[in-house]
């Protein structure tokens, strides 16, 4: 007799609060346990660290409305976890302000002066690369959950006590 699994898709609108449960080495029981709650309870575009391996992080983000413009000295990746989110890209007219030694993304103080490169619309489960030294901006018509893979930086917020002890 084979085991039966039911896949249930959560979203920022509908999720079950995660908890600690004993598992029998089956990752299906705990992957993505609380990113929707983190996104639902934080301000738009705050990057809350929900996973960390040395300097590398997974960050849950509430996408809502239009984000500031961001840039980074290294590639990052983003996954839309529930609703559609647009990612707009622009060349940076001046890359001299990007410190190759600085990890993580940073907010730009104004819209970049370079040319528009294009945009992608991410649907549930779609992933996009956020290329190094390229400006990007998120746009979401309704509250949505993003999962960013990056390196711990100035925009990364570590709120372990807040998200683990609620």
pLDDT tens per residue, range 98-126: 888 899 999 999 989 889 999 999 999 99
User: Are the beta carbons of 146 and 120 closer than 8 angstroms?
Assistant: no
For the chain, domain boundaries: 27-164
Give residue-wise pLDDT tens across range 29-53. 444 557 898 999 999 999 999 988 8
Q: Are strands 116-122 and 47-53 parallel, antiparallel or unpaired?
A: unpaired
Whether pLDDT at 22 is above 60: no
Cα–Cα dist 139/69, whole Å: 11
Q: Are strands 85-91 and 116-122 parallel, antiparallel or unpaired?
A: antiparallel
Whether pLDDT at 144 is above 80: yes
Q: Does domain 27-164 have CATH number 2.60.120.10?
A: yes
**Which residues have C-beta within 8 Å of that of residue 95, sequence separation ≥ 6?**
133
Whether pLDDT at 2 is above 60: yes
User: Are the beta carbons of 56 and 156 closer than 8 angstroms?
Assistant: no
The stretch 19-26 carries a mean pLDDT of 55
Among residues 63, 85, 52, the alpha carbon closest in space to that of 153 is found at 52
pLDDT score recorded for residue 54: 87
The stretch 76-89 carries a mean pLDDT of 97
B/e letters for 87-120, b = 16+ CB within 10 Å, e = fewer, are: bbbbebeeeeeeeeeebbbbebeeebeeeeeeeb
């Amino acid at each position: 007799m084979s085991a039966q699994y039911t896949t249930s898709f959560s979203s920022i609108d509908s999720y079950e609060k995660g908890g600690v449960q004993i598992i029998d080495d089956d990752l299906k029981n705990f992957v993505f346990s609380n990113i929707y709650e983190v996104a639902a309870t934080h301000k738009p575009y705050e990057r809350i660290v929900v996973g960390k391996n040395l300097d590398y992080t997974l960050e849950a983000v509430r996408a809502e409305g239009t984000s500031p413009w961001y840039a980074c000295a290294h590639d990052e990746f983003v996954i839309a976890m529930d609703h559609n989110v647009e990612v707009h890209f622009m060349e940076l007219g001046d890359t001299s302000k990007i410190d190759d030694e600085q990890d993580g993304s940073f907010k730009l103080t104004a819209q970049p002066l370079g040319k528009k490169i294009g945009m992608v619309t991410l649907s549930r489960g779609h992933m996009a690369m956020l290329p190094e030294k390229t400006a990007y901006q998120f746009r979401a018509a309704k509250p949505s959950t993003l999962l960013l893979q990056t390196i711990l930086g100035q925009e990364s917020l570590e709120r372990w006590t807040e998200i683990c002890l609620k």
